[in-house]
A and B are shown apart, each in its own frame.
Chain A
C-alpha cells in the first residue's frame, strides 16, 4: 500500500462547478498535511496547509480527518485557471528530520 494515495483522475468539470479531492495516508504518526499544485510541465507550488480544524482560503477548503486518515480539498466555483494536478503531501518525522511524502496527484481539468 502506498503511503499517500490519491485518485489520479482526471476530473473533468465545467467552469463554476464544485469539485472535491480526497487523499488517504497510511502512517498514523504523520504530523502535518499540505496540498501542492503542479501545472503541466512545471514545478509544484504550495497551495495550502491543512489544519486539524479545517481551513479555508478563498474558494479552497481543506479538511483533515485523523481518525480515518484522510485529507480533502474542496474547490468551489471552479475556474479554467484551476486546471492542474493537485498533490497531497504528508509530513512525518524520521531520524533524519522531516520526511515529506508526496501523493501521485489528482488531475483537474476545468472546461467551458
Chain B
C-alpha cells in the first residue's frame, strides 16, 4: 500500500441498502476526511477525524456515519442509501488536523450510484 487506498472503485447500489466505503492510509497521518464531489458543487466535507478515536461532522453529514478505530482506517457508512447520495467519494488524510494546516492527500475515489 502506498498513500491512500479506497474500495470499492465503483459501486451501483439499490436504494435502502447499507454500504460501507473503505479508506486506508499508510502514511501514519493523524487526520482523515471524507468528501463527496458533485458536478457544480465542488468537494464538500462529510465527516472528519483529527486523530484516532475522534470524529466530527462536516458540511453534509446527514445519512453518513464514520468510525476511527485506528490511525490507518476511516470507513464511511451509508446506513440506508438514497439516490441523492450518488456521487464520487474521496477520502483524504493530512499529517495533522485541527488548526494546523498540512497538505491533504486524496485517495483515488469511489464512484457510487444509488438507484
Q: CB within 8 Å of B: which residues of A?
A: 4, 32, 41-46, 87, 91, 93, 96-100, 102-105
* 9 interchain pairs, CB-CB under 8 A: A41-B109, A42-B109, A43-B109, A97-B56, A100-B104, A102-B35, A102-B43, A103-B42, A104-B42
The answer to whether A43 and B106 touch (CB under 8 A), given A96-B48, A104-B42, A105-B42, is yes
- With A32-B101, A96-B57 known, 19 other A-B pairs at CB within 8 A are A41-B109, A43-B106, A43-B109, A44-B43, A44-B106, A45-B106, A87-B42, A91-B101, A93-B99, A96-B48, A97-B97, A98-B97, A99-B45, A102-B35, A102-B42, A102-B43, A102-B44, A104-B40, A104-B41
Contacting residues, chain A, for B48 (C-beta < 8 A):
96
Output the nearest chain A residue to B97 by Cβ-Cβ distance: A97
Q: Nearest 3 pairs between A and B by C-beta? A: A43-B106, A102-B43, A97-B98
Residues of chain A with a CB closer than 8 A to B50's CB: 97
- In angstroms, Cα B4 to Cα A43, docked, is 11
Q: Tell me the complex Cα distance, A43–B105, Å.
A: 9
B90 beta carbon closer than 8 Å to chain A: yes
Q: A43-B90, A44-B90, A103-B42 are in contact. Are A98 and B108 (CB under 8 A)?
A: no
- In chain B between 75 and 115, which residues have their CB closer than 8 angstroms to a CB of chain A? 90, 97-101, 103-104, 106-109
Chain A contact residues: helix, strand, loop or mixed: strand
Instruction: Count chain B residues whose beta carbon lies closer than 8 angstroms to a beta carbon of A.
Output: 23
Most B Cβ at <10 Å: residue of A32, A41, A44, A103: A44
- A87 x B43 contact (CB < 8 A): yes
